[in-house]
Chain A
Amino acid sequence: MSLLSFKGGVDVSGNKEATEKLPITECPPPERIFLPMRQHIGAPAEPVVKVGDEVKIGQVIGKAGGFVSANIHSSVSGTVKKISTKKIMGTDTVLVEIENNFEEEYLELPSYKNSIDDLDTAKIRELLAESGVVGMGGAGFPIHVKLSPPENKPIDTVIINGAECEPYLTGDHRLMLEEGAQVVKGARLIMKSLGVDKAYIAIENNKPDALAAMREHVKDEDGIEVVAMKVKYPQGAEKQLINAITGRYVPSGGLPMDVGVVVNNIASAKAVADYILDGKPLVDRVCTVTGSGIKKPMNVRIKNGTLLSHIAENADGMTEDFVKLVLGGPMMGIAATELDVPSTKTTGGLLFLNEKDAKIPETQPCIKCGKCVEVCPVFLQPIYIARYAEKGLYASSDKYGALDCIECGACSFICPSKRPLVHNIRMAKRKILELRKK
């Protein structure tokens, strides 16, 4: 069968061998969790507990601070110890600190396992608005917002994104293998909430076992199809994925809903099923702990709000030559400034790099080879956008389409002169938006 794909893109070496065969394990619960009230795109949640309150797992700790926001639930049972503000990655974030009593008491929440047919669109959306589920692929966009498209944007296709095109990461892969049935149920609920009867589960072809497992799960499902994608970065980028599967182009500056599509990550789909069918809000997630800087790479389920240092200890700690921690994959992940910060709903990967792997080669002059133009999945000319940005000529960067950049990093990756192209484009985007506001 031919593999679906998009134009452009790069081959990034997989580096998935370390963890792809390792079953998901449980990270021992920490003594304290630190729940950030900002774990999603949109308004931060507002704490609804006081110091001294006893809480259970699944209890709302932070209430969504608006429509584009999400609830934050406790991932442990115990006592609220402190509510404070801390600067995390440069942003002031409210943290609710909860001491774990290790009772693992769950708050009883309604489950619709046996009455799934009674659920209509409105009810599913209402439930999801409370579920705390956000896009778990990294963006953290609240799911109920995604699933509430305006009337004039009819949706006809749902895509469940299991491409996992970032090197190193294997969490979605393992989730499909171990909890594929739940993922399919989540997909069905998402379809139901949108009144859509066609869904695709997209998986890169380097995961034949996941493809086989998911095909088995959808064997008797109407309208859910598993599609094999070519192994190419950024296959899992929303716009590229939609294009590869449906042939549609999300308009410049637009959203998937503009072409009738909603894309959700594998883990998000599973989280939807967990909440609606089992009454379990989004309080933990699977995270790939990997890289040359950690002693014992693993796929591990972590409770939201667990300190990264605790997760590292559970993986036998860092190697002597560890120097850099990336939150997420190596292509689009963000470098952490410290380990004493809590995990969130979007902590899908912790990539510990040793000195050798963290080393970024020195930049050389641009030789104008045009590779960046060749690989750009949105058909930009990174060479010129970045070149103008370096010279402070942001209007020219704008003319070359800087704002359409999806920041996948393919250009910086391929550049033989190792120039920080996407970095300069990002800078240009910020400046262009500033200039437009004036």
Chain B
Amino acid sequence: MERLVVTSSPHTRSRFTVNRIMADVIIALIPATLMGIYIFGMRSAMIVAVSIISAMVSEALFQKIRKQDITLNDLSAVVTGLILALNVPPGAPLGMVAVGSAFAIIIVKQIFGGLGQNFMNPAMAARAFLVISYPTMMSIFCDPMITAVSSATPLAVSSCTPLGIMAAGDYANLPSLWETFIGTIPGTIGETSSIALIIGGIYLIVRKVISWEIPVIYIGTVFLLTFVLDGFNFYLSLYSIFSGGLMLGAFYMLTDYSSSPVTKKGKIVYAFGAGLLTTLIRLYGVYPEGVMFSVLLMNVATPMIEHFTSPKIFGGAKR
């Protein structure tokens, strides 16, 4: 007889794969993407396409130049491109989106070693890069129901997003809570529809792609802290969790595997910290929105959080 195959145990593996995870994230984002296209028009679809293509081309080129295996099959570049697209305003120039996506893949992901090695969420870091590099282009938010082309005037400023209006103290002009929940408000392509993002988020939790701790604790922290720090106003607290990039950040960006802790306790600390920072920036900072910086700051705090939250080993002393 031919030689037997000999490997070490276990001799069977689960059907859980990287591809399945990435495909699930893409599926989970379909409702939010479609809502973005519905609310802001077909130009949003163009932005999504450009962002995804740029991410894939950047990854393939980088790996080709470095003579590595090209790993587009794992779908992670698609996920990054898609999430970045959902993070830019509907009026964003296509060229800028392409640059942002390339930045996410090359600078944030590949330079640090590729999949699983990035210390920040690539899409969020790219959003920060775009906000800093193209502040005007990244804040063309107004008039969701009008196509982006006509709204792309220099007059448009961020102050027409709910958080912008709140920061300006112009409460009379706030859209209704229902509108923030459905998403027919100004904002980036994929962040406005809380309901679509929550549906996708629940899908990810059910599929065990993400655990409930990070989104639930993050959203809960922002809600409670806003309630306590901003005048015990239940309505405003609810408003705060449905507006800005909170839902998108909670389910899809804060949960990025490689830039969030692996330990259960760590996830709790991490999500709470992000919620605290988001609320403080929103209420007391100069920026109306705090999701982006809080995610990035907690990303870099992850190794430290993991260090201090090592689980107690079964029957053993804490290490």
Residues of A within 8 A of B (CB): 10, 12, 167, 239, 243, 249-254, 323-326, 330-339, 351, 353, 357-358, 360-361, 364-371, 373-374, 377-381, 383, 399-401, 404, 407, 409, 412-418, 420, 422-423, 426
Contacts and interface: CB of A to CB of B under 8 A. Distances in A.
Given A368-B258, A381-B263, A414 B16 contact: yes
27 contacts: A12-B14, A239-B314, A239-B315, A243-B314, A323-B5, A324-B5, A324-B6, A324-B11, A330-B11, A331-B10, A335-B7, A335-B11, A336-B4, A364-B71, A367-B21, A367-B116, A373-B262, A373-B263, A374-B211, A374-B264, A381-B263, A381-B310, A404-B315, A409-B9, A413-B12, A415-B13, A422-B8
Given A239-B314, A339-B1, A373-B263, A366 B116 contact: yes
A351 B263 contact: no
B61 interface: no
B11 A351 contact: yes
Interface of B: 1-2, 4-14, 16-18, 20-21, 71, 74, 76, 114-117, 211, 257-258, 261-264, 310-317, 319
Contacts of A254: 315
Contacts of A380: 311, 313
Given A353-B11, A368-B262, A414-B16, A401 B4 contact: no
A378 B313 contact: yes
Nearest to B17: A416
B4 A381 contact: no
B313 A379 contact: yes
Contacts of B17: 361, 416, 418
Nearest to A249: B315
B311 A379 contact: yes
A339 B76 CA distance: 44
B15 to A, nearest CB: 9
A353 B10 CA distance: 13
A415 B13 CA distance: 8
B230 to A, nearest CB: 34
Nearest to A250: B315
B316 A404 contact: yes
A401 B74 CA distance: 32
Contacts of A12: 12, 14
A332 B115 CA distance: 30
Given A335-B11, A407-B9, 17 more contacts: A243-B314, A324-B7, A326-B9, A332-B9, A358-B11, A360-B7, A373-B263, A373-B311, A378-B315, A379-B313, A379-B314, A380-B313, A401-B316, A401-B319, A413-B12, A414-B14, A415-B14
A370 B7 contact: no
A326 B10 CA distance: 10
